[in-house]
Chain A
Amino acid sequence: MNSIEAEISKMVSDILEVEVEKLTPDVDFFTDLNVDSLKAIEIVAAFEKKYRIIIPEDDIPKIRNLGQLIDYTKTIKKSDA
């Protein structure tokens, strides 16, 4: 796990009160971790604040697990480059 992945895992684990070890890349936020809409917004907001980007509304429902959130970072990094 690189440093960005570790940072995001820590951020999500703090918000969801789930230990980092249990937060595997493919565990589903909604079905496996009972994330409600408010928590989802909190994750999005924390992510946006950290990376100073706005995730387009249409992209939000596509992010359902940690792996997808980390992948999303990579797309931003690429588009930034």
Chain B
Amino acid sequence: MNNNKRRFVITGLGVIAPNGIGKEAFWQALKEGKSGIRKIKRFDTSQFICKLAGEVQDFKPEEFLGTKGLRDLERTSRLLCSAAKMAIDDAALNIDDNNTDYIGVCTGTTLSSLWNAAEFDKGVINDGPRFTNPSLFPGMVMNAASSQVSIRFNIQGFNTTISTGYSSSIDALKYAIDFMKLRRIKAALVGGVESLSLANYTGFYRLGFFAGINGEEISCPFDKRRNGIILSEGAAVVMVEDEEFATERGARIYAHVNGIGNCFDAFKMGKYPPEAVGLKESIRDAMKNSGLAVSDIDYISASANSVVAQDKLETKVIKNVYGRYAYNIPVSSIKSMIGETFSAGGLFQIAASIGSMYKGFIPPTVNYEYRDDDCDLDYVANKSRITRIRNVLINNYGPGGSNAAFILSKWN
């Protein structure tokens, strides 16, 4: 690794996951292999064959945000603002008029505004356009949640929302770091958020993406039974800082961003390119940028989400990039426990990997029972593994053509 290059570090973390709220609860759940996938309570599922989701059921936003102003925040903003509050507190960064222009917000989200859009439209249809509730309108835009973070915490450096589907989280991270490289900002809250709603659930269901439509309703990445995703929700936010800024203010540093690659390889609507070239190039770029050797990667946090093609292709790409050494690298998918959080997936993988570094474990791929010949790597089946972790490769990809890979390295 080139020590002369500027580094960008993670100093704070906030997580609201289906299997744990707050970093400690989340890490503990992952270590125990505890799943957050359960029967949906938010809406009636009697019309669906599928009944499960990674629904965050015990979230009380007032614990993080107080009650004042909560009424103005729709669910996505409540999730993101609460996770952001945790990340700011965890980073012990005091945001004030002197530094607000050097701090930004970058959020990965794609589906989250659907709830507001659906409710607003329902009002227009049921009550008529003259009587619909105008307060739902601001939340209909994709960047509503990200903007609420800036408003609530007075962050004025920049505010951007990245909506690249499965790879949104890492694309958002890269965007924020590029801003830092340009010396436009010194720190950024990088978040990923999605919320579960009848609208997005119905959409994925009708497209046939869910586990349970053609098989068992289970999130079992790499397992032979896999047949689709379990949709999920939540928010994860990290505070990323220019190393110089973080060390000057004496911040506790978790990890540094050691290399990012992203590559677009759109193929056909909803289909994966047969060789997953984009993911391959993303991993190669991330490795090249990091300067690490193949044997330096201690663990791969997979994007595998229990979709037949996705898990198979990710396995193939890992073998292609790492050669025979791929069999020595533990690979696991936390989506077996939290489901597919879509745009937030990468941030949850980052949050989990920081836990891996500090608590010394690799989260398991739970529900792994039946081996598939196309997926033959070490998937850390069902039980977490106690080990020392320094460098993690995090993959983010899906059938939309957006791919990203990122290497997180333990601080010193």
Contacts and interface: CB of A to CB of B under 8 A. Distances in A.
Interface string B118-157: 0000000001001111110010000000000000000000
B133 A45 contact: yes
Contact of B127 (A14, A15, A41, A49): A49
A52 B131 contact: yes
B130 A38 contact: no
A42 B133 contact: yes
A41 B137 CA distance: 12
Interface in A14-68: 14-15, 17, 38, 41-42, 45-46, 48-49, 52, 54
A42 B68 contact: no
Interface residues on B, range: 10 to 19
B69 interface: yes
A45 B134 contact: yes
B67 A54 contact: no
Contact of B130 (A14, A15, A17, A54): A54
A48 B130 contact: yes
A17 B68 contact: yes
B183 interface: no
Contacts of B138: 38
A49 B123 CA distance: 11
A80 B313 CA distance: 69
Contacts of B127: 49
A54 B135 CA distance: 17
Contacts of A15: 71
A70 B134 CA distance: 22
| Most chain A C-beta atoms within 10 Å of own C-beta, residue among B69, B70, B131 | B131
A17 B127 CA distance: 25
Interface of A: 14-15, 17, 38, 41-42, 45-46, 48-49, 52, 54
Question: A-B pairs with the 4 shortest C-beta distances?
Answer: A49-B131, A42-B135, A45-B134, A41-B134
19 contacts: A14-B71, A15-B71, A17-B67, A17-B68, A17-B70, A17-B71, A38-B134, A38-B135, A38-B138, A41-B135, A42-B133, A42-B134, A45-B132, A46-B133, A48-B130, A48-B131, A49-B127, A49-B131, A49-B133
